[in-house]
Structures are given as structure tokens and as C-alpha cells.
Chains A and B, each alone.
Chain A
Amino acid sequence: MNTRALPLYATIVIFLLAYAICWLQFPAILSTRVIANLLTDNAYLGIVAVGMTLVILSGGIDLSVGSVIAFSGVFIAVLLRDSSLHPLVVFAMLLALTTAFGAAMGFLIHRLAMPAFIVTLAGMFLARGAAYMLSIDSVPITHPFYDMIQNAYWLMPGKGRLRLIGVLMLLIVLAGMIIAHKTRFGASVYALGGGEATARLMGVRQGRTTILVYAFSGCMAGLSGIVFSIYTGSGYSLATVGTELTAIAAVVIGGTLLTGGAGYMFGTLIGVLTMGLIQTYIVFDGTLSSWWTKIVIGVLLLVFILLQKGLLKLSQSRLAGGVS
């Protein structure tokens, strides 16, 4: 058995167990309606978490994504309000912009040899500030194209509505899995996260990989902003504050090590769904106050990390003992 995948298996088992416990209490939680909503409600988080996973695998961190999502929403809303451009053109402009923004941060991190934490923190201020400059108010988006996307869904058996943005998230996770596990770039990212010096000696082009990783994260944040604007039908500069930390938590719950170099893209999807499940459970229960969400997510984070630690120790001691 592949011991490196143990945290991933553990995550999946815990998710299924949690789902089973919820199901015992509320059988309706297994209906396609709830499952479809789980995908729709967490679509933006899932997409941004895919970018975050790659960044964390490379040993870095991207704190700017929450602000970039808010900026994207405001950018789209203001441009659609003040010009007659087609939304698809606006989307293309936005993705180019956020990708360039991510690449610029990656360039600074590599060129100045500064910690990613600080550079992306400055990026977080900058993106949020740019969103404020565009508009402080919440700007509604009214466009026939938006109505069309918002109403695009596939009616699953059981009246569940699988919406376009939910499907998009699943596709992005799939794309992320291919990039991380099947491409040369993905291998470079893992190598970089495993150790910079080793990666350099192996012939990884460090600068290029770093820039690409943050460009990818910026692109995902832009895409997530598009999805979020479709989901809420508006752009608001104060939206998605702290999403970067939720995304990081989802990635960690998904079994990716924050030190970089180890983890699976699929785990991130499970991490996102686990967090969504907690929210859904609290809504179903109805008596729990909203602050319990935060406490439960914190406790869960702790449980997952302790579990990973235990499994890691177990596999290491087995390796040392020569049993495996």
C-alpha cells in the first residue's frame, strides 16, 4: 500500500463517516438536491482551492486570492454596467489580468527572494484596494447572458439541480489533478516543494516554475471570481474576506502538507466538500448558532492534522522497522 496516500484515504474515510452520521440524523441529506447544492454553494471555494493546492505543493502560500475574487466580481459588474462588452470578453480580460497579477507576485517572490507570505499579503491589500477604487457599493449584474448561465442546470433524478458552476468546479478539479500529477510542470512543483536546493540540482527551472505556480493561482482566483459573480449575481468589494484562509484550511483538511511537496489534488475536493457538509449540517439542524460553524471547523482542522500526524508517524516507524 502506498503509505504516502494514507492521509488522502483517511480524509475520504472521515468524509464518508461524517456523511453517514449526518444521514442517520437527517436522511434527506443524501438526496440529489442537497448534493447538487453542496457542489453549487462551494463551487467558487473549490476552484480557488485547486490553485491554492498547487501553490502549497510548491512550498509557498497565496494570501491574495480572497481579495482577487472580490476584485473580479467588482471588475465584471462595473464593466458590464458601464460598457456594452459581452460578458465572455470581460471574462477573458479579467482572467488575463488576474493571471498577470499572480505572475507578477511569483516574479517578485523569486526575484527578491522574499517570503511568499509577505509578497502575497501586499498583493492582498493591493487587490482589495483596487476593488474599493472601482466601487465601494455592491453592483448588481443584469445581463441576459448571466440569466442564461444562472438558469443552466441539469435536472438530476430526485429533482436535484446540477448547475453549470458546480460542473465547472468538478472539471477544474479534474484539470488540476492532471496538471499536478501527470505533467512535467506538476512534477517540477512537487520537486520545488520537496526542497529548493534539491530541485535545482535535479534541473527544475525554479524561477519559471514559481512564476507559473502563482500565475495559475491568480488565474484560478479570477475564475473563482467569475463563478462567485454568477452565484451571487453581483460584485461587491467587501465580499469573500478571509476566503484565502478557508481555502488553505480546505487544502490542509484534504491531506496536503503545508510544508509543500506532498499531497493530492483530489483531497482538496474532499476538503472543500467536508467544509460544505458542516455548513449544511448546521443549516439542517437549525438550532446551532453560526459561531458553532467556526468552532466545529477549527476542531475538525485539528482532528485531521492530528490524524495525519499519527498516520505519518505510523508509516515512518514501519519503514524504519523494515516491516513494509
Chain B
Amino acid sequence: MLLKRIAPQLIALAALILLVTLVYPDFLDISFRDGRLVGPVIDVLKRGAPVALLAVGMTLVIATRGIDLSVGTVMAICGAVAAWAIASGWGLAPALLLALAAGAAAGLWNGLLVAVVGIQPFVATLILMTMGRGIAQLITEGRILTFNHPGFAFFGSGTVLGLPVPAWLWLLTGVGVALLMRRSALGMLIEATGINRRASALAGVNATVLLIAVYMASGLCAALAGIVVTADIRGADANNAGLWLELDAILAVVIGGNSLLGGRFSILAALLGALIIQTIDTGILLAGFPSEYNLVIKAALVLVILVLQSPRIAAEWRIWRESQRASREALAERSRT
């Protein structure tokens, strides 16, 4: 059941890895050096962390028939908050807590606008998207806030059990949220709200609280992604941190086969979508194409994957196969009589 759901993403990822391996044979090489795993695949796991983290929250938001355009700027805000706290000597734990609180507050704001005020999610989150970078620049006062704190940098470049910390972060977040959704009724309630908010509210689902919680979850995921990015470069760049990552995250969710119209969702498939995007990015770099070609190749690959997954293509393929079978059966029928 689960395998059948994520089969298209797995096939796409496998085909992509095969394609990259053809142009860059060492892609699958993994070696163990200085207590850590090294290799292009590990690099994909590490660099894919921000988009994968965002995709977890974005999947939930999209499942409620919403969209969260603000996650990229929330990353910048949370990164700026964390860097500011570290730079002014607050220590590690308060800095992390402050960043997460900032993410939750951003999510709460979005959630209130969507669920209580009733603004369309696209516009509601567009507001924070336009304002957010300004707020982040306000915190960093327009500069790139740098800091030197090994404990905080650990979240960007540390290693646990051979794997980079960012990879652990998205793996644990993804699996944790997926289990929470499927082991409890939460996932089903979110899907119900996404399919028909009114009907689910009448059936006793507290859709308002659920919607706010979902946007807050997205904000928290964005905060984690912001911490990873800020820790990785050891500085908060309000202008460029998380720039356009919301688009990659939405793309990851859609490649993961989740409908933008809400309803059924799979976090696992969205994470595979994020890996597909990162494999494309890393693959193009490793294959040695001039960097000008990156975007064109990425657009072409994404388009191919989307066309293959398009519901209408699938439906037409099924109709064509049915008609083939029908004509074959008719032929067999005729030959029998």
C-alpha cells in the first residue's frame, strides 16, 4: 500500500540517479573517512535538508488546501533571530528556542489570517513573504550577522553516527511527523479539512484550530531549516537565506504526488520529491555542465516528471489500455464463434 503510493517517486529518483551515474560514474561512491561518511549521495542528503524540512510542513499546509509562500522569509527571520541571540551572548539553548518561537509566531500569524480572518492562503502568506525580508533585515540591521559558536555551527556542519546533522534533522522530523499523522487521527482530520472544511467542521472537527496548528507546524519546520542554513554559513544573511526555497518546497510536495487542491497527502513522497530536486541540482553540478545550463536542465527534468505524473495522462493511458484490452477480447470472442 505504502510502497504503491511512493512507487512513482521511487522510480523517478532511481531513473535520475541512473542518469547522473551515467554522466558521473562516481556518484554512488560512499567512503568512511575520519568517522564520517563521505560521498555525493551524503552530500545530497545534507544539502537537501532545508528543502526537505520545508517540504514536511508544506505537505501538511497543502493537504488542507492551503499554501505557505512565506517559509523562505521565515527561514531568514529565524536565522536572523538565532544569529542575533548568539552574537549578543545568550547562549545556545535560548538562541534555538528563540528561533523556534519566531517560527511558531510566524506560523500563528499566517494561521490566524487564513483560519480566523478567512483570507486565501496564497494572499495571506504573500503578506508575510513581502514583509518578512524587511523584518529580517531590521533584526540584522541590514548587515550579514556573523558569529563564532562551535555549538551552534554543529547544527550545520556537525556529524552524528557518520551522517551530517542536517540529514538527521530532516530524517527525524519527517519520520516523526509522518508517524504522528498516521498513528493518530491527525492526518485523517487534516485530509478531511482539506477536502471540505465546512463538512468536516459540521462533523465535529475543530477546523480552525487544526488550520492554525498546521501553519504553525510549517513555521516550525521553516525555523529548523533557517537554523540549519544559518549554522552552515555561520552567519545570518537576511537577503539571501531561504530565497525562493518556498518554490522548491512546493515543487517537492507536488513531485511527491500531493495535489495542490488538498486532501490525501504523503510526507514520505514529499521528502522523496525534495531528494529528487536536490539530486537534480547536485547531479547537474557534478556532471560538469556550465552553471548557466542548470536552470534549463532543471526545468526540463521537472517538466518531464510532472507530465509523467499528470492525472490526465494517467487517465488517458488507462483508457487506452482498457480499449486495447476490450478490442483484444472482442477479437478473441469473434475467433471463438
Contacts and interface: CB of A to CB of B under 8 A. Distances in A.
Interface stretch (B82-90, B150-158, B164-172, B304-312): B304-312
B250 A122 contact: no
A125 interface: yes
Interface residues of B, number: 45
Contacts of B302: 122, 125
A314 to B, nearest CB: 14
A313 B307 CA distance: 41
Contacts of B126: 245, 248-249, 252, 301
B130 interface: yes
B307 A295 contact: no
Contacts of A175: none
A305 interface: yes
Interface string B47-74: 0000000000000000000010000000
Nearest to A114: B310
Say what secondary structure dominates the interface of chain A.
helix
A221 B203 CA distance: 47
Interface residues of A, number: 44
A112 B313 contact: yes
Contact of A113 (B113, B117, B312): B312
A115 B130 contact: no
Interface stretch (A29-37, A129-137, A159-167): A129-137
Given A112-B313, A118-B306, A298-B134, A132 B295 contact: yes
Contact of B142 (A61, A128, A291, A301): A291
B294 A297 contact: no
B123 A305 contact: yes
Contacts of A129: 292-299
B247 interface: yes
Interface in A96-132: 108, 111-115, 117-119, 121-126, 128-130, 132
Contacts of A318: none
Given A133-B293, A294-B134, A112 B310 contact: yes
5 contacts: A112-B310, A115-B260, A122-B299, A126-B296, A297-B131
The 7 closest A-B pairs by CB, nearest first: A129-B295, A298-B131, A294-B134, A129-B296, A125-B299, A291-B137, A126-B299
Interface of A: 61, 63, 108, 111-115, 117-119, 121-126, 128-130, 132-133, 136, 245, 248-249, 252, 258-259, 289-295, 297-299, 301-302, 305-306, 309
Given A129-B294, A252-B123, 15 more contacts: A111-B312, A115-B254, A118-B254, A121-B247, A126-B300, A129-B298, A132-B292, A132-B294, A132-B296, A245-B130, A249-B126, A295-B138, A298-B127, A298-B130, A302-B113
